[in-house]
Amino acid sequence: MQPTLFIANWKMQKSVTQSVEFCSAHFESLKVLSADTAIDLVICPSFPALLILNEMLADTMVHIGAQHCSPHESGAYTGQVSAESLKEAGCTYSIVGHSEQRMYNGVTDQDVANAANHLCQNKIEPIICIGETKQEFENNTAFSVLEKQLDPVLSILKNTNQPITIAYEPVWAIGTGTVPENDYLTTVFKHISALLTKVHSGPWRIVYGGSVSEETIAAFKNIPALSGFLIGGASLDFKKFEKIVSLGK
């Protein structure tokens, strides 16, 4: 059986010092947790913490991931970080197209596709975030929104056989405590799976993100095609994160 993927997205919630403190305080537990063959554990701290966490956790099975990647390969793009640099910082995963990047930094579907392409070329698994807003959900346009978001990604990755992860994160579920109904998630996942099966030649997984917690995790069991979780707020506290992993694996 494929391991369940647990991705901690720390967003901009922990400074470098706090990230280091977390990993040093829970080093032994992280080592034990990540050695479990039933799970794949990924921690995504902010950029300046990537290298140091990668070094600190080298003796564990924890993977280090970035929260964003530039759509450009290299060049005069002040403030951006390339896939090549992420590789050198030890990343094996990178989130791309998070709704907060789309919303606050104007990241487009094509940017997400280009970034995912550079990541694949650098053998970093992209965690490609897609998801509809509350209004799109209420207007029943979620499927066309997801298709539009995925379209450039799937056409640019058509010829790669690199593994990719799609993170379905409905914007209305992020940080709200509200999660979609099981039936809804099952239908959405079926839809995304069909698109991926048709186009992507490499391995792929679909994870869910949005208000995953100790309280909500049980509801996600038995959803076909669900390979794991992208966790924001609840991943900041080790005890909560550990509980989610033990309940969700």
The residues that touch ligand 13P, with contacts defined as CB under 6 A, are 9, 98, 169, 174-175, 209-212, 230-234
Closest distance to ligand 13P from the beta carbon of 90 (Å): 21
Closest distance to ligand 13P from the beta carbon of 43 (Å): 13
- Contact predicate 99/171, CB 8 Å: yes
Q: Is 169 a catalytic residue?
A: yes
Strand partners, 96: 128
What sign for the dihedral angle of Cα 44, 47, 48, 50?
positive
Q: What is the DSSP string of 9-34?
A: E-TTSS-HHHHHHHHHHTHHHHHHHH
For ligand 13P, the closer CB: 39 or 96: 96
For ligand 13P, the closer CB: 33 or 212: 212
The Cα–Cα gap between 25 and 82 comes to 31
> Helices (H) and strands (E) in the chain — how many of each?
10, 8
Q: Which two tokens stand for residue 150?
A: 């995925």
The residue annotated as part of the active site, out of 98, 100, 132, 200, is 98
The Cα–Cα gap between 43 and 231 comes to 10
For ligand 13P, the closer CB: 125 or 169: 169
What sign for the dihedral angle of Cα 117, 120, 122, 125?
positive
Closest distance to ligand 13P from the beta carbon of 141 (Å): 21
Closest distance to ligand 13P from the beta carbon of 169 (Å): 6
Closest distance to ligand 13P from the beta carbon of 149 (Å): 15
Residues with Cβ within 8 Å of residue 9, at least 6 apart in sequence: 44, 67, 95, 98, 209, 230, 231, 232, 235
For ligand 13P, the closer CB: 81 or 231: 231
The residue annotated as part of the active site, out of 125, 132, 136, 169, is 169
CA 158 to chain centre: 20
For ligand 13P, the closer CB: 71 or 232: 232
What positions carry a catalytic annotation?
A: 98, 169
